[in-house]
Amino acid sequence: MTTVLEEPSTGSVTAPPVPRGRRAHSRRRHGAGFWAVAFAFLAVMAFATVPAPLYVIYQARDGFPTFTTTIIFAAYGLGVVGSLYSAGHLSDVLGRKPLILVSIALELVAAVLFLVWNDVSGLIVARLVTGFGVGTLTATATAHLGELRVRATGREASAKGASVAAGVVNLGGLSLGALVGGALAEFVGQPLMTPYVVFVVALVVAFVAVLAAPETVGRPEERVPYRPQRVQAPAGKGGAFWTAGIAAFAAFGVQGLFTSVAPSFLGSTFHVTDRLAAGATTFGVFAASSVSQLVFARLSQRAQIRLGVVLLVGGLVVLGVAAVLLQVTGFIGGGVVAGAGVGLLFRAAIASAGALVGPEQRGGVLAATFLVAYAGLTVPVVAVGAALLVLPTLPVLLGYVVLVAALAAVAGTRLAARA
């Protein structure tokens, strides 16, 4: 049976039937809103990785060690986790649009900080603010895209397509930011300013576009007491929730490697110092994550998970062997293959978590899942930075690869069994 959804109602009285012309207008408006939110999601996520190929420039200018790079990156992860914990679920109560607009505003503040305060302390603060914005956005925009799409088409089944779109935009934005940052730094003057100016413009456009998008969540009539986001499974579904969370943790563990220390590793071990090459490497990993979701979208979820695990683990093995043999092509290629696996595993994890509850709780459950995922983006990278203070680069890298591959294999296998 096809379910047709109308504008949300916060009252207890059944809404009267909506005239056909108004219904068509509503669907067009929600369809336009879908693309507005998708663009905003893309712009914010792209801005999050703009600094990735620029770290080597900051490092050369200020002379700080690789460990400092991991601290700057960790500030971003801390911001994401803190925001998800404190505000990631609030869109279920306050509405999707206000949280998305706050997120874009935070990214604009971060962009200004990068422009006017770009020593180490300024970079840490700017990345912390960037993380706050991303954490506020991810679960909110993912839920909003699904709701907008259902209201635009009038079919609940279209939520699945919106889930794929959200995953592609999320990881595609991360890939685009690194490429744009590297390209602008390589070919345009003032490499530590121009990328941020470009994204100030993009974020302003995104803010205006979202202002015109419709809301999909009605505010409750009675005030709901505030409480931080709990990293807690829905009642009776603990196993499924934590399986999805650990799979997302492992997937983001791969991404963390290529947005923090991988560009420095390319420079120090493979002597690849070209800014565009550093950005293109990160772009390749994240782009593969997005493309794989589109290419294999017709496969069943179980088949996608199994393929994702094979690609992720296989890619990491190739990366590790290439690092030992000093083969830069294998290192990058292995990262791209692993990235393709990340896309499939991450999308399946988010879809699995979101399906555990109804719409009234979906934002909170997605926020909790993203909270676990972003811990995977942060904690292992900080551990790598600390280990590099006392150990050579190669054994640290190999240990990281083994840990992430093992987590992905175990969690992915369990996730496939539940699909």
DSSP symbol at 245? H
Cα(133)–Cα(243) distance, integer angstroms? 26
Confidence (pTM): 0.77
Q: What percent of the chain has pLDDT over 70?
A: 91
Please state, in angstroms and rounded to a whole number, the distance separating the CA atoms of residues 175 and 279.
9
Q: What share of the chain is helix, strand, coil (3-state, %, to 5)?
A: 80, 0, 20
Asked if pLDDT for residue 278 goes beyond 80, the answer is no
278 versus 348: which is more confidently predicted? 348
Is residue 26 predicted with pLDDT exceeding 70? yes
Q: Considering only 25-29, 71-75, 226-230, which range has the smallest mean pLDDT?
A: 226-230
**Residue 335 contacts residue 256 (beta carbons within 8 Å):** no
Q: Are 365 and 238 in contact (CB under 8 A)?
A: no
- Who wins on pLDDT, 294 or 8? 294
Which structure tokens are listed for 144?
A: 């909003």
DSSP letter string over 246-302? HHHHHHHHHHHHHHTTHHHHHHHHS----HHHHHHHHHHHHHHHHHHHHHTTTS-HH
Question: Mean pLDDT of all residues in the chain?
Answer: 85
Length of the chain: 419
Q: Please, which pLDDT band fits residue 20 given cuts at 50, 70 and 90? A: low
> For residue range 113-141, what is the model confidence (pLDDT) as tens digits?
999 998 999 999 999 999 999 989 988 99
Asked whether the beta carbons of 44 and 103 are under 8 A apart, the reply is: yes
Q: Give percent above pLDDT 90 in the chain.
A: 39
Q: Is the pLDDT of residue 7 over 50?
A: no
**For residue 3, pLDDT beyond 60:** no
Asked whether 24 and 234 are in contact (CB, 8 A), the reply is: no
Q: How many helices (H) and strands (E) does the chain have?
A: 15, 0
Rounded to whole angstroms, the Cα distance separating 4 from 156 reads: 8
The residue-averaged pLDDT of 38-67 equals 90
8-state DSSP, 17: P
Residue with tokens 């744009």: 180
- Please give the Cα distance from 399 to 184 (Å, whole number): 34
pLDDT digit string (tens) for 219-255? 777 777 877 766 666 777 888 889 999 999 999 888 8
Mean pLDDT value across residues 192-202: 96
Domains of the chain: 26-217+236-418 (1.20.1250.20)
Q: How far apart are CA 56 and CA 186, in angstroms?
A: 12
What's at 303, amino acid-wise? A
Radius of gyration for the chain, computed over Cα atoms and rounded to the nearest angstrom: 21
CA-CA distance, 145 to 41, in Å (whole number)?
10
How far, rounded to the nearest angstrom, does the alpha carbon of residue 267 sit from its chain's CA centroid? 26
Residue 229 confidence (pLDDT): 64
pLDDT (0 to 100) of residue 12:
37
Selection from 281, 264, 287, 262 nearest residue 380 by Cα: 262
Question: Is pLDDT at 16 greater than 70 in this prediction?
Answer: no
Q: What is the dihedral sign for C-alpha 199, 200, 204, 210?
A: positive
Q: How far apart are CA 254 and CA 250, in angstroms?
A: 7
